[in-house]
Structure 1
């Protein structure tokens, strides 16, 4: 698209991305749509008959005007509600339709708005009526089906696993088996670690959609995104903006860092829709003569093309299942708010502040608006943020009042005029970033007839130790955040015994023990940015103790959904109060990562080599409530420490082994992509192939984790024990031997405590 004008928009449909089905319950349905021109959008929700085959009565209706985020970028999250008090129910397939009225009073149907000369036929439905459909969560836990995943980098190695969900929905034969909710638990886009080829396209696309070029504050001058081409941003990102992803000889991680608002907007559109992608990328040799850059360019283009090829399936998925999201660090930049040192480095720089503000504004529009539409309703702070965003674009980034309003609503702290550093507030012995009373909150809760999902914001409300160095690991939730985000919603439903509670923690509560060792070792060496020291709950013992007591004092059974770490696994924690051992609590942690970002190290731990060298053993802790703290001990010393140290509680963590892989035969054929993905063997070494045991399925199938691109399903079965459920965690991934075959690894556990050594 370089050197092209906005005429490229003529070949695009009105809808650039979406429809994306967002917050959905029995009383309301919200759909997000991204369009290239302003219009009024009407949403209608229908009952269906014959298991979804035919539309019936219109039950819900709503309308809303788009918000002009750019000259050619108009976004709306429209919510439909009942006019007569009628509610949607479980075990029924509902359909929805959209209607678009343009400024010239022309009205377009959904089918018309999706199609164009470049895209003459677009299917976003699983039925002949061509309307997207969905179902609500059930009344019984054993009928609940949740999908979760995280970490989707366009140029990440391997196939994108999100399209697997398209096949899961398409091949579901029973209504009760169709997935009801999708939770994307972080890193929906990558602001850092951006491929040069991606930025080469996303940057001018963003400017074109905005209709203007942002003036980025760099040193004493302002520069536009086009003056900062792909592959040249490392020094500016690290020195001028203060970002840490490029430290420790990793400049390639930030050489194409997103900076401008248009670039962050474009990243979301390109992540969720095939509409705006280019037909071709330039040959690497026309960009550079550096052989290393050429190599990385060609490799990233290969994986970008694989990503693009399955975007139609991704688009259909997002239109047909309620999708809830929360950010992690890469939605802004690696290490975002990792510790106080990061905040001082980045938020104390004009460019760093601007980039974080741009990322959070894009998150608010493309993720938070649909997650919590009530916060963007008329008169709410979310609506005020949208007005400020529209004003900022209308005045082409030169309206100071709009910029200040955006900063206030998305939570950018004010600057101390004496130090030019961000302001912090002291709270219960920790510093928190200053929060304006009008700031939007990003955490939220989703509740149905059988479950409650508490989605945590572990990035913007951290507690940084006041008596330690700025690089010290933080509390991922400050004391006030713990109360408001976790304790309050748990208490509100404490008497609803029929609800099973889920907590979405974008960063893992418990990870591999070797990672713990590395984090503590790197912390001693003060190299915290190279391995994300501080992003794990169990690196800050008082915070972990407070989390466990908050959860286990409120619930005896609880599921934690997490991602972030680029492998999937299942673990169970049994928590016993010393004074009341007859009422233990059980936390089951289900991790799903990455959708598209497998790495050499994760592919290694995917194999049996991990089990042989570093098997996960049972781990024991004793803990205290006042002040919160815990201590890891051996099983042999458990009784001794209980008698000597008088803990308030003790717990046992065990990793659940996965069962042998199972075939999933219903996947849409993707064999055409295999030659670009499957490694080839030099013919002269082919005779060695029978001896390459590491390529065999036997070796590839490890015991504890799935370390290749994957997506996971969570469901439950009743057991023979009264009121006990078996938790089933099915992790779907591409077979490393036959990469057009999808298999799944099943992890099963239950809510029965295991306090035996």
Structure 2
């Protein structure tokens, strides 16, 4: 039997003080060891699920404020770097022990179809691939990112590549039992990640830049959890139970596990069960089914409750706090009481939003601030969907699904609550209702609040304006999408018109006619919309903040699309 080898990875996920986590998938059971050039090391045996083998290795003993190359060994045989690889060494970089004065750079974006799609759809060049090639050409650049933040649709379970469709065609003996061109089983999900993360430049980038991720709908299916009736309709499909179970289990393995810090991994109840099992297939099957069922507690009861497993998470880098929110799996979908997060998770978010930091970054797959014209249409639709007249509610539900009206604007309870939170934080009054217990009488307002988003297949920067004159912190929506995809040409004028005052006023009048109150926040576009493939960098230096949007040119290189200073003294 041949020795195990690396199938995917290494993925450098979290670097925390003098520790780092490295995720891998191997071709067989083994002990995986990571060794750095300066002597730091870590080992872990693989765990097995669905006949696949994984390990997440915690590397201990890194030197603060250093950059050191590393190797990955499988059963003490060198597996990374691969022989003959024409790439710079993969490196783990640590921050200073006291990193309060160090700049923080977050590279972010969403919606990346694999390069395989370019062969059939002629997509523009992949922006993340272009970024990786630029880093490969200058691996010691001083302004390399501290963290890659991927905001959803890392894989597309429902829009597969030509290669995947060929594989699925061979497997679909009874087409009625499963969609002919969409993945359903866990093993099929593994092929999506293999196809996406084995791209050589992307593989190198993920091995040397720490990354965190959150899912959006396409990791499961387009418009996942749009509404209560949508969930009921999907459960009538014979293949849905396996699809949602496999989608959530594979997301936990390939994406979420690496989001956790070493201490969080050690206390995660699912990880404990997985590594204790000789074969964790049944553990993950039960987990995927249970998590989706737990979401029904929030969807189908009059009284909101918290789900047991939480996908949202947070971390600190220097004086920057990043809070990543799950916009999909645990939505409250009860008409009249819709919310992006169930109450328990919202309370957790409020707690994490308060603290001692200079910059707050809230990451979510869906933008909080859309083009105003689109925002008002979504709020209008939600109001009609709550109508007591069945035919009106039914028609509104049909429009909600057909037009993808399921962003924050169509969850107005959460949209308004988020704005109220930003007002309290930005005015130095977080001790008002909703602040965490024991927070103290007041905080100094943060220097900036940035809401990261993706999904909408165009990129822009918008500035929020609040009626409260006490708000001193600038609040911005930073949307970067897609990394590698494209919006249909017919949709671009509509999205552009959404920012135009005329159409926006007409949409606002439509919403007002249905009884929708005016939003408590107004916003203005500062840059964009840009419809090409792009990645963005948010940089914090002291109490200043700046965002850079870079798009791909026809030659596959990145070019500056927009650069905006987000703080007055920036």
The one of 69, 90, 99 equivalent to 2:49 is 69
Q: Within the alignment, does 1:95 sit opposite 2:69 as a pair?
A: yes
How far apart are residue 499 of structure 1 and its match? 3.3
Unaligned runs of 5+ in 2: 385-394, 427-444, 506-514
Residue pair 1:542, 1:630 contacting (<8 A) in 2 also: no
Q: State yes or no: 1:715 paired with 2:539.
A: yes
The match for 1:282 is none
The Cα of 1:176 is off from its aligned counterpart by 3.8
Secondary structure of the corresponding residue to residue 165 of structure 1: helix
Is residue 2:60 matched to residue 1:81?
yes
Partner of 2:389: none
Relative to 1, partners in 2 of residues 1:152 and 1:740: Cα closer, same or farther, differing over 3 Å?
A: closer
Quote the offset at 1:734 in angstroms: 2.1
Q: How far off is 1:652 after superposition?
A: 3.1
Q: Measure how far apart 1:656 and its partner are.
A: 0.5
Runs of 4+ residues deviating >6 angstroms: none
Would you say the 8 A contact 1:188–1:327 is kept in 2? yes
The answer to whether structure 1 residue 183 and structure 2 residue 162 are counterparts is no
- Partners of 2:214 and 2:326 within 8 A in 1: yes
Aligned partner of 1:424 among 284, 294, 297: 297
* Equivalent residue runs for 1:368-447 within 5 Å: 368-372=256-260, 373-377=262-266, 380-385=269-274, 390-392=279-281, 403-408=285-290, 411-413=291-293, 423-425=296-298, 435=307, 437=308, 440-447=309-316
1:632 aligns with 2:518: yes
Per the TM alignment, residue 143 of structure 1 is displaced from its structure 2 partner at its CA by: 2.4
Mapping of residues 591-740 of structure 1, within 5 Å: 591-601=479-489, 604-605=492-493, 615-617=499-501, 631-632=517-518, 651-657=521-527, 704-716=528-540, 723=543, 725=544, 727-735=545-553, 738-740=554-556
Residue 550 of structure 1 aligns to a residue whose secondary structure is helix
Asked if 2 retains the 8 angstrom alpha-carbon contact of 1:541 and 1:630, the reply is no
With over 3 angstroms needed to count, the CA separation of the structure-2 counterparts of 1:80 and 1:600, relative to structure 1, is same
Q: Which residue of 393, 418, 424 maps to 1:553?
A: 424
**Correspondence 1:145 to 2:105:** yes
Deviation at 1:142, TM superposition (A): 7.2
Aligned length: 519
Instruction: Give the drift of 1:264.
Output: 0.7
Give 1:406 shift.
Answer: 4.9
Instruction: Pick closer, same or farther for the CA change 1:743–1:175 going to 2, 3 Å.
Output: closer
Structure 2: how far apart are the matches of 1:75 and 1:588? 39
Q: Does 1:747 align with 2:563?
A: yes
CA contact (8 A) 1:22 1:370 kept: yes
Q: How far apart are residue 177 of structure 1 and its match?
A: 1.2
Given the alignment, which residue of 560, 568, 572 partners 2:463?
A: 572
Aligned to 1:37: 28
What is the distance in 2 between the residues matched to 1:343 and 1:193? Answer: 20
Change (3 A) 1:141 1:511: farther
**Contact 1:361–1:406 (CA under 8 A) maintained in structure 2:** yes
Quote the Cα distance in structure 2 between the aligned partners of 1:405 and 1:349: 20
Match of 1:110 in 2: 79
Counterparts in 2 of 1:293-304, with a 5 A limit? none
> What does residue range 181-580 of structure 1 map to in structure 2 within 5 Å?
181-201=147-167, 225-228=171-174, 233=175, 236=177, 255-273=180-198, 311-347=199-235, 351-372=239-260, 373-377=262-266, 380-385=269-274, 390-392=279-281, 403-408=285-290, 411-413=291-293, 423-425=296-298, 435=307, 437=308, 440-467=309-336, 474-484=338-348, 486-491=349-354, 493=355, 496=356, 498-519=357-378, 524=384, 525-526=395-396, 527=398, 528-534=400-406, 536-555=407-426, 556=445, 557-577=448-468
Q: Which blocks of at least 5 consecutive residues in structure 1 are unaligned?
A: 1-8, 46-54, 102-106, 116-120, 205-224, 238-253, 274-310, 393-398, 415-421, 469-473, 621-628, 634-649, 658-703
**Secondary structure at 2:314's aligned position in 1?**
strand
Deviation by residue 1:428-453 (Cα, 9 ceiling, x = unmatched): 95656x84x4xx32111111222111
TM-score, normalised by the number of residues in structure 2? 0.81
Aligned-partner SS, 2:215: coil
Summarize deviations over 1:492-523 as a string: whole Å, max 9, x none: x2xx2x43111101111011233235535766
Distance 1:444 1:734 in 2: 31
Matched-pair contact (CA < 8 Å) for 1:430–1:465: no
Partner deviation per Cα, 1:141-180 (whole Å, 9 max, x = no partner): 7722210011012226222211122134235586541211
SS in 2 for 1:110: strand
Find the counterpart in structure 2 of residue 296 from structure 1.
Answer: none
User: Any idea what SS the aligned residue of 1:584 has?
Assistant: coil
TM-score (norm 1): 0.62
Deviations along 1:672-693, one digit per CA (max 9) or x if unpaired, are xxxxxxxxxxxxxxxxxxxxxx
**Shift in alpha-carbon separation, 1:347–1:61, aligned structure 2, 3 A:** farther
1:218-254 deviations in Å (ceiling 9; x for gaps):
xxxxxxx4425xxxx5x555xxxxxxxxxxxxxxxx5
Distance 2:286 2:333 in 1: 25
- Deviation, 1:32, is 0.8
Cα distance between partner residues in 2 of 1:558 and 1:345: 39
Contact in 1 for aligned 2:235/2:241 (Cα 8 Å): yes
Shift of 1:464: 2.0
1:480 is displaced (CA, Å) by 2.4
CA distance in 1, matches of 2:499, 2:286: 52
Structure of higher RCO (CA pairs closer than 8 Å, 6+ residues apart): 2
CA distance in 1, matches of 2:110, 2:334: 29
Q: CA separation of 1:203/1:136 partners in 2, compared to 1, >3 Å: closer, same or farther?
A: farther
Please say if residues 299 and 334 of structure 2, whose CA atoms lie closer than 8 Å, have aligned partners that are also in contact.
Answer: no
From the CA coordinates, give the structure whose radius of gyration is larger.
Answer: 1
Question: How far does residue 616 in structure 1 lie from its aligned partner after superposition?
Answer: 3.9
- In 1, the alpha carbon distance for the partners of 2:206 and 2:44 equals 20
Q: Is the 8 A contact 2:72 2:80 kept in 1?
A: no
- CA 547–203 in structure 1, closer or farther in 2 if over 3 Å, else same: farther
